[in-house]
Structure formats: C-alpha cells, structure tokens
Structure 1
Amino acid sequence: MRADSETIEPGKADVLARGCSSPIKTATGVWVRCGSRIKSKCASCAELYRGDWAAIARSGVFDGPVERYRFYLLTLTAPSFGRVHRVPRSGPAPRCGCGSAHSAADAALRGVPLDPAQYDYAGQVAWNRDAGVLWDRTRRRLRDRWDSLEYFIVREWQDRGVLHVHAIVRVARVEAPPAERLRDAARTATAVSKVDGSVVEWGAQAQCDAFRADGDGAKTIWYLSKALNYVLKDVATDAGEVPVEVWRHQVALGDAARRMRCSGVCEPQNCSSLVHKRFGSRSQVVSASRRTKHRPGWSFTGLTRTVQRRLRREWWESQQSGAGDASPTVAPAPLEGLAARSRRELVARGWAAP
C-alpha cells in the first residue's frame, strides 16, 4: 500500500477499490470510473465494457425464437496496401517475401511491411477513416436484399494496423440466403469517402459461415468475446523484445494519420480530433442494430448499454436507500455518462483524458 494512502479522498479510494485505476472527479465533486476501453489503461473498466457487449451479443442469439432465424458469422477485411512479412501463428512456415521462413518467435514482425518506402501508409489510414462509411453502405445494401437482417459487429485491428470486421448476422429463415451469397453481397459493396470523394471498398478476402443458435451459437459468441478482448488492448505489440521495424511501422502509421484530413474542413496541423491519434479510425469498436418502430433490433429483449447502465444505477441507488442522510461520495460503475462528459471537459481544456 502506498505511504500516502491516507491522503486519498474517500470517494476516489472507493472507486480504486472497485478496480478502476484512473478515477475521474466530476465538476459536482463525485468520483466516477474512468470508462477506459483499453486493458493496459484500466483492466476493470475495459472488462465492464467487454462484458456489457458480450451480453448484448448473446441476447441476439439465445433470447428469442431462434428457430425462426438463420445466423451467419461474416468476416470482411481491408484491401492490401503493400506486401508485409508472413509469419505463421502455428504449423509450418511459408517462405516470406523477405526470403526467410519465419517461425512463431518472429511474431512481432507479423504485418510489418517488407518495403516501408513503397507501402501505402496514407491509403491505409484513409481507409480506416472511411471504414465506418463503408460498413454503413454495406449494411444498407444487405437490408435492401434481406429486409429482416439484424447484426452485431466487432471491428478488430489486424497486425498491420488496419481494421477488419466480424459480424454476426441474423436473417429470417423465410428469406435467408446461402452463406456465399451473403458474403459476396457484402464484399462487393462500395462507398464514397465524404472527405476526398475516393471509392472505398473491402479487400478480396472475405468469409461467411452459417451456424445454428442451438449448435455453434455459443462457440461463435465465445469467438467474438475473444475478439473483444483483443481489440480492447493497445495496438502496439505486447512482445518483450520488439524489432525496430515494428516501431518504425507504427511511427509511420501515426505520422500518416496526423497528416490525413479527417473531414472536408480539417486542417491536420490544427485539428484535435482523436482520429489523428487512432491510425485514422473513427468507428466504435462494437455496435449492433438498434430497435426502432419497424425493426426488432439485434437484441431480442431490447438490451443496450444504456439499459445496462440504468439497471446498475437502480441497483446502486437501492443499496444507498438504507444509508441514512449521508451523501455518497462515489458514483456507481454504470455512470459512464458522467465520466464521458468529464473526459470531454478535460479534452476541451487541452489536457490528456485518462
């Protein structure tokens, strides 16, 4: 325990005791969780975020009349922006373009360009920037063909520093297509960048597999939960000894993202958008189709993170009801909204948000 632990405010100490490593004090004097989604910054808040989305994913597969639907696991990738090192995750090693047959010990080199001078860094960060627009166009295209389609999507970082997409797709059996037809309809979708007017498209590699909710459903949810664990880590490699080529690659990506225009009116040298710090990415890590007047949404029960936060807040308030007149100095885990507002205040002041 730290020697100065007695000087920590009670509210902050309570939040720290619940696992949050970087509590935030709001303007009203209440200590709340930092709400970080990155494990290396706050494992507790990142796990809360992952658990909420995993519950929503399960809700859209197991909490309704699943016999009326067909389910698919759809994977879409980004185009190539240059040749990279080929490092196997297991099994025999194919010969890499650098002339070597890499082993698992060279895992840190996976996704690093063979020729950085020829690699299209600007194109890659621009694709990350426009990936959300491309998915929106893909979603609309799929729904034009299969009106009952609902989805749960996880955006995962590939080793080269570009996003790809895993989506669980649900379609009513009366109109459910073969898996390869859905895959081709998604992969061939295109969009136009709102920033520079360029055409944005998926890479050639795509996969779509149908599965049964009462068979492979649990396995598929586990896979996406594992993907969530991965994307909540930092993009930087976790390897103990990192080759200098890895850092050069990440520095080049960061430099390209800082030079990139994130909107039609963006002046990169004066823009404070976080897009310039995320290798161009502006999309949320996870999302799902929402319930509307005309659509059931992904979750059969209408479960969202807003609902989960409300339920946790109601539970916390019920626990405080017998605490007398003493005003609580710490907010419950679900008050991420206050934390988000506080982070925006910090950013507005020019400080680094936790």
Structure 2
Amino acid sequence: MAADLTTVVPGQAYPSGPGHRPVTGPGVFVGRDESAFHLATTADYFGWLEHVKTAAGCSRPVRLTGEIATIDRATGRLLASITTAELPDGEIYKPCGNRRHAVCPSCARTYQRDAYQLVRAGLTGGKGIPDTVAAHPAVFVTLTAPSFGPVHTQRSDRKGRPIPCRPRRDALHCPHRLPAGCQRVHADDDPALGTPLCLDCYDHTAQVVWNHTAPELWRRTSIALTRHVHARARTLGIGWVPQVTDTGRTRRIPPVRLSFGKVAEMQRRGVVHYHAIVRLDGVDPTDPAAVIPPPDVFGVDDLAAAVTHAAATVAFTTAGHPANPTGWRITWGAQVDTRPVNADGDITDGKVAGYLAKYATKSTETTGHVSRRLDGDTIDLYANPHGTHPERLIDACWTLGAHRDWQRLRRWAHMLGFGGHFLTKSRRYSVTFRILRDARTIWRRTETHHQHGHPADDETTLIVGLLTYAGSGWHTTGDALLANTAAAMARERHDTARHELAAAV
C-alpha cells in the first residue's frame, strides 16, 4: 500500500505534537508511516496513548470537539470546564461501537463479551437476575429455513466421517443441463459451500421473502409456544393465578410464562436461521416483574414438546405480489433441534452463551457479500440477475422492493432481505446491554478517579459534554498503527492474566 504523503510548503506554519505529522524541512514529503515513528519518539507520546485509550483498538473511531463541563447536581453551578482544544489532537476519540467483527474487531469483541454476559445471566443468574434461574427448565433451540433448492454442503456418516456432498447413483441433470448431484467432499474453506448446484433452478425470490418475514415467523412461533405451555398447565390441573390490578379489580393470569434470548445466524447459502434459549418461569401475582421457578410438575420435556409443536404448526401466507399474486407460504424448515440445557451435559450454560455471543457479531460476510445500505447509485455494483448467488439474492430484493408494499426489501437488500435484529431477548430473560455498558462506564470513571488520587464524586457532580461531530477515523495511518498496536498488546496481557487466574483457581 502506497504511503500517504503530505507536501510541506516553505514558510507555512504547521501544528506539532501528538497526532500531527512532523516537519523535517522545507519542501519535504513526510509519509504517514514515517509519522508513526516520530510520534512514538515524542515526549508526550504516552499522554497521547492515554488520551485515545478508550478507542485505541477501534478501526474507525468517532472524533468529537467541543466543551466538557462539570456541574454541581444540587445547585446547578458550573464547577469546571475544559475544551477539547486543550487536549491532544484537539479532539476526543469515541469507539464506533459496531457489533460486526468484519467491520471493527475491537468493538465487536466488546459487544461479544456483553452478549455473553447477557445470555449467561439468563441461565445462571447474576447481574440482577436471581440465581434460582439455574434450576428453571431451559432448552437450546435451533430453527432453520426450508429448502429453496439443493446447495453444496458438508455431510458425514453416523461415525462422523466425511462423505460426498450429494451423491447420486444415476446421472440425472437439471432442466439447465447441470448435474443434479455432487460427488465431492468439500473442505471447510471451499468457496462452493452454500452455493446452489444450479443457480437458475434455485428460488432466490422465495429465499429473500423468507428472510424478510423471518422476524414475523418467530413472533408467531413465540405466541404458539406460550399458548401450548398454558394449555399444558390446564392439562396438569394448574389453575390460573388471581391478581389484583391497580384499579382494584381481580383478574386471573397464567401460572407460567416463557423467557427467551435468541440470535440470528446467516448461513452460507444466504438465509438466516435462529438459535434460541427458551426458559420457563413461574408467575408471582404480587410482583409481575419477579422471576420465580415454575411449578414442579413442569419439566424440560414439556418445554421441548411445546417447541416441537410450534415449529411444526406455525405458518402463514404473505401478501400478494405481482411476481406471486397468491403470496408465499412461510414455514420453518424440517431441521428443528431442541436440546435441554444442563450443567453436567454437553449443552452447558457457558457453551450456549459463547455460541450465541459468537454469532451475534457476524452478518452476511459468510456468504461472501459485505456492503453498507444500497441505493440507486450503488445497487448495480452488487446486484446481477445472472451473476453469483449473493448477486442474485440482492437483485431479487431490489426487484421485489419496487412494489410499494414491499419497499422494505430494498432497504435491507444489503442484508439479503433480513431486517431483524441479530440478538434479541424477552423483557424478563436477562439484563440489558445498557445496564452492562453503564456498569462499565461507572467502573472506568471510578478507576480514573482512583488513579488521580481522589474518590469518585458522581453522586454530587454531573459531567455534561457539549460536543459536536468532527469526523470518523484516525488522522493518519501512523496514528491508527500505534493506537491499535497498543490496544492489541493490552488485550493480550489481559487475556494472559485471565487464563492464568482461571488456571490458578
């Protein structure tokens, strides 16, 4: 990669200090890579590193300028203020916060760890969730999409040995004269994985419609799960619980409810499927927000039966479209996996939380397509009705989205039609990301106050930032190199200490 050079004009004043490229003489070209060396040798280099520490590992931090004021909470009096012009680089660096590992590995790492804590707290308790949830019936569910045409895949026999992709004894061909089978054993990095055996036979239109309606299919499935569990309660002879409302009236509510946390995973063929933790809770009529154990007669088998029933019965038909006036039938695929979560078996809380947190940071990159939101100026770069598998999916989104009732398909064409969240949870399953982030902010402020030799005073003072957006990204490649290297070394030391502490325990 060619170095980015800046021309130094004789007689013109240039800023110096951290973040600015050094001037070595009139008319000299100074490269950004060279500026990294000069920045690292300046006296205030470590002060600059401390200043960018919070966003040091970010690929594209947000830069802010303005004023930060400290105000007395009781009187509203201004105690102190500082402008960003007095700070290194004259700006404040804030992490971009992107959850996608392909976009920003550092911010995605933070998001992944928060997701891990969020999912695991719903299985073991902690962070405001009672520890008794560890004894609640819970299942790990995988719901897949139906088939839209044969694709190249990896298969194994009962002993786990790899076998050919789609073996056929006859030499049948599809209507487009392509082989209807595949005798290859695909490796993990084979680019053919997830691609259709015949692009022209594959139903790309139905797939993007399924992606688009997958959140609605999950919503209906969660309703069916709840109804099945309530019907099971009636079968077991468990009566509804009386509850007094705020108006003084008495109503009867179900004795159990479901809580869940789920993540959407984009498969290589470009279709989403869901991994979910479904937990059964009891209901306290005096405190509806409380999380209590369900009646003892309910078990994991009852929960698994509810999931199996809902996955097999929930279906609906979309609204009509000129491409399909009768609409598309939306159902789950035949592959539905339900496994109980327990502390001693293969499906433990730690493994499940790690699995869901890993996929929460991924997106369409597994299909080979990575782009931001598309519009009329950029769609031709990614859509092609006669191109690759991802290009045909994007073209199907754009073509169907031309209808006024299906315009959201164009909005989510870069996501192959899927417009839902990759990680969601029910209200009472666990804590929220905001609670975790606020706790981390408080901890960092407390550590900063202790490092400067005075206690934290967040209870008596209020810090207000009057900041405006100045730009995104590092000023120079050298700045990015130094900041990311320092962050990588800090992460490595942190991981080493964590592993040593775990080994010692």
2:436 pairs with 1:283: no
Shift of 1:88: 3.3
Partner of 2:88: none
Give distance in 2, aligned partners of 1:211 and 1:237: 28
Q: Tell me how many residue pairs correspond in the alignment.
A: 310
Partner of 2:434: 306
Q: Pick from 137, 140, 164: which aligns with 1:73?
A: 140
With over 3 angstroms needed to count, the CA separation of the structure-2 counterparts of 1:203 and 1:35, relative to structure 1, is same
How far, CA to CA, are the matches of 1:16 and 1:174 in structure 2? 50
Q: Quickly say closer, same or farther: Cα 1:69–1:311, change in 2 above 3 A.
A: same
Question: Which of the residues 163, 175, 181 maps onto 1:93?
Answer: 163
Distance 1:190 1:208, change over 3 A: same
User: 1:252 maps to which residue?
Assistant: 392
**In structure 2, how many angstroms separate the alpha carbons of the residues matched to 1:165 and 1:268?**
21
Tell me which amino acid in the other structure corresponds to 1:155.
Answer: A
Counterpart code for 1:19: G
Correspondence 1:184-203 to 2 at 5 A: 184-193=309-318, 198-203=328-333
The answer to whether residue 271 in structure 2 is matched with residue 162 in structure 1 is yes
**Matches of 2:408 and 2:139, distance apart in 1:** 40
Which residue type is aligned with residue 170 of structure 1?
R
Name the SS of the counterpart of 2:354 in structure 1: helix
Q: Is the 8 A contact 2:152 2:165 kept in 1?
A: no
CA-to-partner distance for each residue in 1:197-251, whole Å, 9 max, x for gaps?
6442111211112232x32486354245235324524533499xxxxxxx81122
Map of 1:352 onto structure 2: none
| TM-score in terms of structure 2 length | 0.54
* Partner residue, 2:115: 53
Instruction: Provide Cα deviations, 1:87-138, integer angstroms capped at 9, x if missing partner.
Output: 3376231352434232426732222101110111111111111111111111
Shift of 1:309: 1.2
1:132 matched to 2:215: yes
Distance 1:26 1:259, change over 3 A: farther
**SS across alignment from 1:20:** coil
1:207 corresponds to which letter in structure 2? D
**Partners of 1:234 and 1:149 in 2: how far apart?**
27
Contact 1:73–1:220 at 8 Å: present in 2 too? no
TM-score by length of 1: 0.74
Summarize the Cα distance change of 1:130–1:43 in structure 2 as closer, same or farther, 3 Å threshold: same
CA distance change for structure 1 residues 304 and 15 in 2, over 3 Å: closer, same or farther?
same
| Whole-angstrom CA distance in 2 between matches of 1:278 and 1:13 | 36
Q: Which amino acid aligns with 1:3?
A: E
Larger radius of gyration: 2
Alpha-carbon distance change, 161 to 13 in structure 1, aligned in 2, over 3 angstroms:
farther
What's 1:294 paired with?
A: none
Q: CA 1:175–1:262 in 2, change beyond 3 Å: closer, same or farther?
A: farther
Question: Which moves more between the two structures, 8-17 or 37-46?
Answer: 8-17
Q: Spell out the pairing of 1:25-36 with structure 2 (5 A cutoff).
A: 25-26=63-64, 30-36=92-98
Identity percentage of aligned residues: 27
What SS class does the counterpart of residue 104 from structure 1 fall into? coil
* Whole-angstrom CA distance in 1 between matches of 2:402 and 2:63: 31
Taking structure 1 as reference, are residues 58 and 234 closer, same or farther at Cα in structure 2, changes over 3 Å only?
A: closer
Q: For 1:205-216, what aligned pairs fall within 5 Å after superposition?
A: 205-212=335-342, 214-216=343-345
> Which of structures 1 and 2 has the larger relative contact order (alpha carbons within 8 angstroms, sep 6+)?
1
Cα distance, 1:170–1:227 mapped onto 2, change above 3 Å:
closer
Corresponding residue for residue 351 of structure 2: 222
Q: For the Cα contact (< 8 Å) 1:61–1:217, is it kept in 2?
A: no
Distance in 1, matches of 2:108 and 2:199, equals 33
CA displacement at 1:50 relative to structure 2:
1.0
Give the residue type in structure 2 aligned to 1:309. R
Distance of 1:71 and 1:95 partners within structure 2: 34
Partner of 1:329: none
Q: In structure 2, how many angstroms separate the alpha carbons of the residues matched to 1:87 and 1:67?
A: 35
Query: Taking structure 1 as reference, are residues 187 and 257 closer, same or farther at Cα in structure 2, changes over 3 Å only?
Result: same
Q: Which moved more, 1:253-262 or 1:202-211?
A: 253-262
Q: Tell me how far apart the structure 2 counterparts of residues 68 and 282 of structure 1 sit (CA, whole Å).
A: 35
Instruction: Report the counterpart of residue 102 of structure 2 in structure 1.
Output: 40
Cα displacement (A) at 1:3: 2.7
**Take 1:230 and 1:108, find their aligned partners in 2: how far apart are those partners?**
20
Distance 2:261 2:408 in 1: 33
Task: Flag structure 2 segments of 5+ consecutive residues without an equivalent.
Answer: 1-31, 67-90, 126-130, 167-179, 230-255, 281-293, 322-326, 369-386, 453-467, 473-505
Please report how far the alpha carbon of residue 35 of structure 1 lies from its aligned counterpart in structure 2 after TM superposition: 1.2
Q: Match of 1:209, SS?
A: strand
**Alpha-carbon distance change, 88 to 285 in structure 1, aligned in 2, over 3 angstroms:** same
**Aligned-partner SS, 2:199:** coil
**1:317 maps to which of 445, 448, 458:** 445
